[in-house]
Structure 1
């Protein structure tokens, strides 16, 4: 992931970029030595709540937009039992930021996929506007922190599916202007089992120029390898755990986790029974494994709530993050590593993407490439 990413990683401390409101100005999140914020003698769940009050969760994937589409009426600030995620439960779970997926059901393609993605995007903005006391749109790491300072849950747009582009870099730029920040590189001719085509590589370079992050969960190994080689910005796996522990196709083999650590990307481990197991202990096993192979700066959390997936009984909805943090505290995770897991790593990746985009915009004009020219 090359020179620009390395420069950012070596010259800027993660904690110096942004802090939640409760962090002292002198405290750095990166950490070899983060000042303790919990009472070591307290019960694990009590310690978890105290920790998360200072270091909230940046949740990397929510299926809420599609779930809300099918409800005749809802109030997320009052509470909504028909979904897994609402403002009261996010406050109870100490969720400070949430990525809202624009993924579509299978079978939508072409113009239908473009139109449905735009409808999803419009729905998200409408929902956030209708819940101003609990939610706020955010388009950057700094805006996420600002929302948290104001007592709101920051909502970021993405991931969306690559078929939302209609093979057009102009549509990619339009979606970025509308707020999309993460795109999943799968399900299209230019990002398939065979890997990235020449046009696919051009899409990735344009994403780097815009500051849009590539999501590789569910993509082919050939695509993963080529994205690692081409991208100048960090990449995400928004819903991937450890394949060694659970052989799900979206989970990552050990060699990819090692390479992800070298590339300083981010694996967001899903809280789903199918991918990680039936309990918080199983999820913690995956977090341990990813941290051991990729490093503490390359692991995060993906609730994957309201996506249709089943969840561990003790992690049933967005209020349950303290149970997972309590499990990790009981395993000896340092508060430094936990602060990276819950908040700091997402901030780092977003900042890195912005840094890469600013540098790329100085040397590269918007691409006018056409798929027929490069792949025809």
Structure 2
């Protein structure tokens, strides 16, 4: 059955059904209704109720690299050597997870392609070894299908742009292998100066394929040009508000506003370095991003298994209900909470899928090469 699921292509004219709970779970709760919790009820109870209906789509997990050096592990029963396993994902109501293929600093540039492919191969092996808890997904429809079957949907990416080795052919190969997100940093064509002509062609080809651009850590020039050029919404998978904490990966307000206006998504990381040491600090960043980018421009990024220190009570994915309870206390409406946890990621995936299908009908694969001069 798992093999059959891998071959399904839900992007070709299949109408998505509404999200429903797995068999035996409580009925789906609709945001904006009393079913999501009595306003007088305990905030943590309301958080669990809302997350049962609108689970977390987590924008960044470093699990593939963390598992790489373990001789043995069992994510289904629980694994103390890492931050993430199926029991903790279920306890935190995580319904979808982006597995990063980022590479450690200092890795030789000529190893980037091979190391990325090795991680991608590991991702497929890990998912295949845990079919009762995990399911691969590429499209919004497949994410919903995994959720309806009681599985956590795993999407591949972000990967580092160095994995392309300045080749659009490699971008297309990685996309065929399942890549959904690419981080535009660390290359000559996406630098402090912005995108070169080849870099702009990379962004156009990504839009044609449905690969989402990740701008966390990118220069402001690269970010601004990518937002203007991309036909699909862009992501910042690990960025908070620079107005609250001056971390280089956090976004200034003008970029947050541009991101929200373009339908993009700032996924606030649960790391002490970028957001602060407490749940309240993380909630402050979520408040700020929602105010500047709009309710449709904010998401969540656990950044677990990346080696980062996490705020108190958010040490692993099981802590998500505590964060949502803090937002409930602050008066976030159910509709905005549902967008934060689940709806915004679904919208971005659907938009990218639709845009790619349309673009592939009118545009051939790009033959551009980085070695060609810009002038």
Distance 1:20 1:281 in 2: 30
Spell out the pairing of 1:35-50 with structure 2 (5 A cutoff): 36-50=35-49
User: What is the TM-score when the length of structure 2 is the normalising length?
Assistant: 0.92
Quote the residue 2:62 is aligned against: 63
Q: Residues 29 and 52 of structure 2 are in contact (CA less than 8 Å); yes or no, is this contact kept in structure 1?
A: no
Quote the residue 2:288 is aligned against: 289
Give a deviation string over 1:310-338, Cα, whole Å, max 9, x none.
00111110100000000000000011000
Q: Residues 61 and 304 of structure 1 are in contact (CA less than 8 Å); yes or no, is this contact kept in structure 2?
A: yes
Change (3 A) 1:357 1:335: same
Distance 1:143 1:186 in 2: 29
Change (3 A) 1:359 1:20: same
Distance 2:46 2:33 in 1: 15
Quote the residue 1:5 is aligned against: none
Q: Residues 29 and 36 of structure 2 are in contact (CA less than 8 Å); yes or no, is this contact kept in structure 1?
A: no
- State the Cα distance separating 1:145 from its structure 2 match: 0.5
Q: Residues 18 and 141 of structure 1 are in contact (CA less than 8 Å); yes or no, is this contact kept in structure 2?
A: no
Distance 2:298 2:29 in 1: 19
Q: Residues 64 and 101 of structure 2 are in contact (CA less than 8 Å); yes or no, is this contact kept in structure 1?
A: yes
- State the Cα distance separating 1:50 from its structure 2 match: 1.3
Give a deviation string over 1:115-151, Cα, whole Å, max 9, x none.
0000000000100000011000001110000000000
Q: Residues 197 and 374 of structure 2 are in contact (CA less than 8 Å); yes or no, is this contact kept in structure 1?
A: yes
Quote the residue 1:211 is aligned against: 210
Distance 1:334 1:17 in 2: 26
Quote the residue 1:13 is aligned against: none
Quote the residue 1:340 is aligned against: 339
Distance 2:294 2:268 in 1: 14
Spell out the pairing of 1:91-170 with structure 2 (5 A cutoff): 91-170=90-169
The number of residue pairs the alignment matches comes to 357
Quote the residue 1:235 is aligned against: 234
Spell out the pairing of 1:194-273 with structure 2 (5 A cutoff): 194-273=193-272
Distance 2:326 2:106 in 1: 40
Quote the residue 1:173 is aligned against: 172
Distance 1:360 1:334 in 2: 36
Q: Residues 36 and 335 of structure 1 are in contact (CA less than 8 Å); yes or no, is this contact kept in structure 2?
A: no
Quote the residue 2:3 is aligned against: none
Distance 1:257 1:34 in 2: 30
Q: CA RMSD in A?
A: 1.7
Distance 2:352 2:221 in 1: 23
Spell out the pairing of 1:357-376 with structure 2 (5 A cutoff): 357-375=356-374
Distance 2:34 2:17 in 1: 17
User: What is the TM-score when the length of structure 1 is the normalising length?
Assistant: 0.92
- State the Cα distance separating 1:82 from its structure 2 match: 0.8
Moved more, 357-366 or 126-135: 357-366
Q: Residues 20 and 149 of structure 1 are in contact (CA less than 8 Å); yes or no, is this contact kept in structure 2?
A: yes
Q: Residues 65 and 124 of structure 1 are in contact (CA less than 8 Å); yes or no, is this contact kept in structure 2?
A: yes
Quote the residue 2:7 is aligned against: none
- State the Cα distance separating 1:273 from its structure 2 match: 0.3
Give a deviation string over 1:155-182, Cα, whole Å, max 9, x none.
0000000000010000000000000000
Distance 2:231 2:317 in 1: 33
Q: Residues 209 and 364 of structure 1 are in contact (CA less than 8 Å); yes or no, is this contact kept in structure 2?
A: yes
Q: Residues 59 and 97 of structure 1 are in contact (CA less than 8 Å); yes or no, is this contact kept in structure 2?
A: yes
1:274 aligns with 2:273: yes
SS of 1:301's equivalent in the other structure is strand
Q: Residues 100 and 159 of structure 1 are in contact (CA less than 8 Å); yes or no, is this contact kept in structure 2?
A: yes
Q: Residues 21 and 147 of structure 2 are in contact (CA less than 8 Å); yes or no, is this contact kept in structure 1?
A: no
Distance 1:236 1:178 in 2: 20
- State the Cα distance separating 1:371 from its structure 2 match: 1.0
Distance 1:20 1:274 in 2: 35
Q: Residues 109 and 163 of structure 1 are in contact (CA less than 8 Å); yes or no, is this contact kept in structure 2?
A: no
